[in-house]
Structure 1
Amino acid sequence: MLVIEILNTREVMRKRIGRLGDRLVGRVLDHETEVEKAVIQELETAFKSFGIEANILSVEGMELTVNRLEVPLKLRERRQVIPPEI
């Protein structure tokens, strides 16, 4: 199992939408959710090309500390990836 914590979601959104759009980040757009959606899409594409079957989960409220991962799961999105048969 993999856990990926994206640390710079605000900076990623700032690069994608520019400085003017940066004013909207946090007010209108949720930068974490938007970056997660983009990463999920890229993972799905990559997994399919490698023939990997997977469940990709976007969850809210996880806390990652030095020695512990606290996971009060509130599922935002679930996508099952099944590659096409070759």
Structure 2
Amino acid sequence: MLVIEVTNARDVVRQRLGRLGGRLIGKVVDAEAQVEKALIQELETAFKEFGIEARIFSVDGPRMLGRSHLEIPVQVRAERDVRLDL
């Protein structure tokens, strides 16, 4: 399994859109989503050329912590403590 973390998404979008586009990042343009969309398209093309079948996911939330830990946040909808009354 591969995990790819794009660390300069804002810079890539800024280069593609210019100064005005750079001001829109975070307001109108989601830099990470745009770069991931382009990257997925490129991966799909390359995989097809090599005869590789794969599932590619673009997800929000997980992040790398150093070289040995992947943090995957979980949204908690409800929480309840269960205690025994003694």
TM range (shorter): 0.7 to 0.9
CA distance in 1, matches of 2:22, 2:4: 24
Q: Which residue of 1 aligns with 2:14?
A: 14
Q: Which residue of 2 aligns with 1:40?
A: 40
Q: Which has the higher strand share?
A: 1
CA distance in 2, matches of 1:56, 1:73: 20
TM-score for the superposition, normalised by structure 2:
0.80
Q: Which residue of 1 aligns with 2:72?
A: 71
Q: What's the Cα RMSD here?
A: 1.5
Structure 1 moving runs of 4+ over 4 Å: none
Unaligned regions of 5+ residues in structure 2, if any? Answer: 76-86
Aligned amino acid, residue 41 of structure 2 = Q
Kept in 2: contact 1:59–1:73 (CA 8 A): no
Superimposed CA distance per residue, residues 43-86 of structure 1 (whole angstroms, 9 cap, x where no aligned partner): 00000011000000011100210121022479xxxxxxxxxxxx
Unaligned regions of 5+ residues in structure 1, if any? Answer: 75-86
Q: Which structure exhibits the higher relative contact order, with contacts defined as CA atoms closer than 8 Å and separated by 6 or more residues?
A: 1
Aligned amino acid, residue 65 of structure 1 = L
Kept in 1: contact 2:5–2:63 (CA 8 A): no
Q: Which residue of 2 aligns with 1:28?
A: 28
Structure with max Cα Rg: 2
Kept in 2: contact 1:62–1:73 (CA 8 A): no
TM-score for the superposition, normalised by structure 1:
0.80
- Give the % identical residues: 61
